[in-house]
Amino acid sequence: MSNYDNTNRGSIWKNPKKTTDKHPDFTGSLNVEGTEYWVSAWKRKEGQSDKAPALSFQIKMKEETPAEKPKGGGSFKDLDSDIPFNKIGKYL
């Protein structure tokens, strides 16, 4: 365990796994009031205005996992139905 209080602190490093422009330039972690977050950051693209941010960030909770949704964007609750189907999905 660290001797330092890292509450409300974070850090990012160059992303060694970047293979496309969509991947973040930097990754790291952040602690906000005791809650841990993942941080992804992208540098300002070459040729953009000096008024554009030097870095843009995306923050995600470390415990958070993306909810799995069925194709089509509905929810699993939408699948509840009174229509009878057999085991191979054909209407009876």
Looking at residue 87, its pLDDT comes to: 54
3 occurs within a structural domain: no
Rounded CA-CA distance 23/34 in Å is 27
Q: What is the pLDDT of residue 70?
A: 47
**56 inside domain:** yes
pLDDT at position 4 is 83
- State how many domains the chain has: 1
* C-alpha to C-alpha distance for 1 and 72, rounded to whole angstroms: 45
Per-residue tokens: 5: 């209080």
Q: Tell me, what amino acid is at 7?
A: T
Take residue 50 and report the two structure tokens written for it: 């000096």
How far apart, in whole angstroms, are the C-alpha atoms of residue 56 and residue 13? Answer: 14
Structural domain boundaries, residue 51 = 10-79
Asked, for residue 61, whether it belongs to a domain, the answer is: yes
pTM of the model: 0.60
**Per-position pLDDT tens, the chain of length 92:** 558 888 999 999 999 999 998 999 999 999 999 999 999 999 998 888 988 889 899 999 998 655 554 455 554 455 555 555 555 555 44
- Establish if 85 belongs to a structural domain: no
